Structure 1
């Protein structure tokens, strides 16, 4: 990978982090000149990163005003989470079938980090990042690259709507407990339970998001 490609990836990751944790809320402008100045880079990697976000449905281009962070409606969210409920279950099932000791250790380490975070002060950015890392690792461990990429895009779209949930202590505790249940099933080699618990986690998340939107 060239230095230019690495820079684009870095800028993209920075923008995505800010979108996921709510620092760039839905509807926020993604001004290439302003972001380039803020990040201390040229406009080119910022422009490419914004275009990538648009291509992934995380941002939209608005006529005469430029790119903005996408806004997700409740109807959009329902569609995304119904698909995720099935595919997250599939990812957990496939991971359970092939996971090794190293993979289980990595999952346990992320769970421990999540539990430590929940015992500390509310940190929406940190919690969102840990949640993304947990689900990304589970997808990675499935060994199914197509499934992993599909779920990555869907998860980011869900986080566009749900960033505010991480300010709720009860949600933080429930999310970590549900993650713990998934990993317990994976560690036990119980494919059916892993699938069911991962799907139930997404279904419960959908309920919490709908309640928060009221």
Structure 2
């Protein structure tokens, strides 16, 4: 008998072999750690969430006698709390800010109406502990210094630029936190020659004239 032709037939002379002897033993599957599962999912979902949202731009007004660009730069690590905003619309704008949104730092007041620098949102809206503002709702965002404008942009210049018609700063001059459309942001940065930290060569010397902007109302 040719055993090679019928490998499935067993030689009667050999002891019977159980089929189970040849079954491969699959190693037990470890229970996935809940911590690992969450940890592996969170970063990617957060990244996707961030990538899905376009960057926003804003303008923050401050009187230099209360809080100036120099104060902002000199603050701890260039980070400072932006608080004291009482107007409901301005508060709503603050609450809409997201991490790393960019903001124009604007000096207001009788003699200093101009864009002087750029900051970024370092911490989103949070309620302040023990805030004593009678109606509650007092809160703040933290902003971090990015860089000074290479040339400060006066209010009169903003008003005279046809590309900035409809800019909220010009339509609602009393609003202290103003949304800025991307094309408006780019135009203002163009007028100011950009800002330190924008990735452009800082060596283009454009006089730092402060202009005597006698602000109109």
TM-score (normalizing by structure 2): 0.24
Which structure carries more helix by proportion?
A: 1
Structure with larger Rg: 2
Which is bigger in relative contact order (C-alpha 8 A, separation at least 6)? 1
